[in-house]
Amino acid sequence: MALSGCLAVIVLALAFNNPQFADFVLRLTIFGSYALSLNLLIGYTGLVSFGHAMFFGFGAYAFGLLMQTERVSIPLAFAASIAGAAVLAVSIGALCIRLKDIYFGILTLAFQMLLHAVILSWVSVTGGDQGLQGGIPRPPFFGVDLSHPKQFFVLACVIFFGLVLLVRQIVESPFGYSLRMVRDNPERALALGLAVQRYKLAAFVISGTIAANAGIMMSLYVSGAYPNFAYWTLSGDGILMIMLGGMTVFLGPIVGAGIFLLLNGIITRTTEYSGLVMGIVLLSVVLGLRRGVLDFVVERCGNLGRAALFTRRIEL
Amino acid sequence: MNLPALLDCVSSSSCVVTQVSTGLIIGMLLFLVASGLTLIFGVLGVINFTHGSFYMLGAYFALTAYRVSGSYFEAVIVRALGVAVFGVVFERLFISSVYNSNVLMQLLVCYAFILILDDVVKIVWGTDFQTMGMPSTFALPPIHLFGGFVPPFYVFLTGLTVAAAVGLSVLVNKTRFGKLVRAAAVNRQMLACLGVNTSLLYGAVFGLGSLLAGAAGALAAPVRSMSPEMGFSILIESFIVTVIGGMGSIIGAFFAAVLVGIIRAVGSIGYPLFTDGLMFAFMALVLLVKPTGLFGRKLA
């Protein structure tokens, strides 16, 4: 089903050949996987991270800097950036998971802002507040030429659907159910012999590397990296996407990312006061629906909705 | 990094006086905002992310009131009260409906209001930087101190903040109201069972917190320029102060505010681009060593 969905989107986009639609789909693959990775932490493991953008920003900068040396191929730079993000996630995660609840969130925020400050102040390497200048070269590899928009589009879609399937495998595996137990009752999990801290760390690392992947795709897409990739507003946007779409449904974050991108696009095009409109929309969702859009759909339509969405209910 | 400039400054007493007094002023304003934040968190268990916007409203209200009435003191008092009223209404209408939801819901309500209030300020006062200028009452020659110059307004601001800090800790620790507040922080249901109107109490605490933020904004108006983004930056800084001092601790907020103020003032010479980084590094260090903050109590 996912495969057919993937094909459908690619065919549809290629058939329409509409640059605006293609742009939307590309951004959706990037921010959809970013939000999905964050929900692995927040929704499934109960670790509310306020600093998820650090991995997005790290991925974008690491990849961009590696490519600008012009000595590595895209797959190699990709693998190195992901590995770097994993190392970063292990070291920061090991420190953060020692704290609980809100304190965990604040510490992740602190590390993210630290990375942001490093990016801003290390001007000779990162370009400071101007971002990574000069574009990111895209040498062809394995017969794939990413400077060709259609090839890039197809690759982005394939990676995105691969990731969605991967995350789905993870959350439906015994490991995924252990994460839910860690979220719901850590004492019980510990008593049953689960290494709770290790599970938390594993979730943190998996989630961080997927976010780094999103950052890499973003840097490839916009051919640059900017400090706001690692700023707290992007972490906030991630949480927003999850909450808009619904954190108890597997596809919620992706739908949320779509709603967020659409809203943002429409609002910035039609009004100067985007914050005012966005704020009011947010308030009505939070206080009106009191849950994400997909949560709402699943609750209303029961099993039918769940089957249609190809998802299983997660109790929060 | 600019180490020579930093060393230069440390070796000259006038520069030290200037930087320390600037740091103190930043610290005092931060304390006023952070104390409200910490009070609201300690009692209501809600992190009020709109607190920075209240500070911003205080500053802009004061600007308008000062231009209309010409009296700075009137402006401060009237506007701080105005923000307090706004805070109570905000708490009753919106925050009170998400007490029982998870943290993320509360976060989103606050975030929505940050967006809305920022734009309201842009619509009413414009997007440009604005300054109020030093009120005529304080247009006095600066005070000489160890070769440095300290504006009289700084002394006034520091005195007022210390008084507010003392007043606040007396209010919380010695009065009947304070007892009720501390009881509500421990167990709201029990307090309600004993016949206390906890909704009123929550409203009062939120109003008090907003009053402090509004006062800070009004007091900051003469020394800091105003822009619609000022709420964001003070929010982050006062949030750091709250965490370093220990969430819910007013004394902690005071010490942490002075500390962060000094770090900012010194850092702006030595590491201008990394000042935020210094603060966040410091916060991460405190969290790792003592997660509840320097003066925080152990969590149950």
Q: Are A240 and B271 in contact (CB < 8 Å)?
A: no
For A205, the token pair is: 């690392």
How would residue A309 be classed by pLDDT, with cut points 50, 70 and 90?
A: low
Q: What is the pLDDT of residue A61?
A: 92
Q: Lowest mean pLDDT: which of A101-110, A226-235, A288-297, B38-47?
A: A288-297
Segment B61-82 shows an average pLDDT of 74
A26 contact partners, CB below 8 Å, separation of at least 6: A153, A156, A221
How would residue B120 be classed by pLDDT, with cut points 50, 70 and 90?
A: confident
* Residue A3 neighbours by CB distance under 10 Å: 9
Q: What is the pLDDT of residue B108?
A: 81
pLDDT tens for residues B185-231?
A: 777 778 888 887 878 888 888 888 888 888 888 887 777 777 777 77
Q: Are A117 and B273 in contact (CB < 8 Å)?
A: yes
Q: What is the pLDDT of residue B299?
A: 42
Please give the Cα distance from A155 to A169 (Å, whole number).
Answer: 21
For A173, phi and psi rounded to 5 degrees? -85, 165
Chain B residues 129-158 with CB within 8 Å of chain A: none
Q: Smallest CA–CA separation between B136 and chain A, in Å? A: 36
Domain ranges of chain B: 3-132+143-289
Q: Name the residue with tokens 């029961």.
A: A302
Q: Are A117 and B274 in contact (CB < 8 Å)?
A: yes
Chain B neighbors of A111, CB-CB under 8 A: 280, 284
Contact status of B187 with chain A (Cβ, < 8 Å): no
* C-beta separation of B276 from A230 below 8 A: no
For B142, phi and psi rounded to 5 degrees? -65, 155
B106 contact partners, CB below 8 Å, separation of at least 6: B46, B47, B95, B98
Chain B residues 238-267 with CB within 8 Å of chain A: 239, 243
Beta bridge partners of B76: none
Chain B neighbors of A113, CB-CB under 8 A: 236, 276-277, 280
CA A288 distance to own-chain centroid = 26
Q: What is the pLDDT of residue B268?
A: 76
CB pairs under 8 A between A and B: 111
How would residue A103 be classed by pLDDT, with cut points 50, 70 and 90?
A: confident
Residue A311 has pLDDT above 60, yes or no: no
Residue B172 has pLDDT above 90, yes or no: no
Q: Are A280 and B112 in contact (CB < 8 Å)?
A: yes
For A14, the token pair is: 């290629």
Element (H, E) at A147: none
How would residue A216 be classed by pLDDT, with cut points 50, 70 and 90?
A: very high
Q: Smallest CA–CA separation between A109 and chain B, in Å? A: 9
B44 contact partners, CB below 8 Å, separation of at least 6: B95, B99, B202, B205, B206
Element (H, E) at B222: none
Q: What is the pLDDT of residue B140?
A: 63
Q: Lowest mean pLDDT: which of A86-95, A143-152, B275-284?
A: A143-152
Q: What is the pLDDT of residue A315?
A: 45
Residue A121 has pLDDT above 50, yes or no: yes
For B141, the token pair is: 């020659």
Question: Interior CA angle at A28 toward B101 and A301, to 5°?
Answer: 50
**Complex-level ipTM beyond the 0.90 threshold:** no
Q: Are A286 and B243 in contact (CB < 8 Å)?
A: no
Segment A82-108 shows an average pLDDT of 87
| C-alpha distances in Å from residue B197, one per residue of A19, B164, B180, B181, B183 | 59, 26, 10, 11, 12
Chain B neighbors of A240, CB-CB under 8 A: 108, 111
Q: What is the pLDDT of residue B300?
A: 34
Q: Smallest CA–CA separation between A117 and chain B, in Å? A: 5
For A313, phi and psi rounded to 5 degrees? -75, 140
Q: What is the pLDDT of residue A304?
A: 56
Best B1, B105, B116, B275 member to test A by mutation, with max A CBs in 10 Å, is B116
Residue B280 has pLDDT above 80, yes or no: yes
Please give the Cα distance from B143 to B27 (Å, whole number).
Answer: 20
- The model's pTM is 0.82
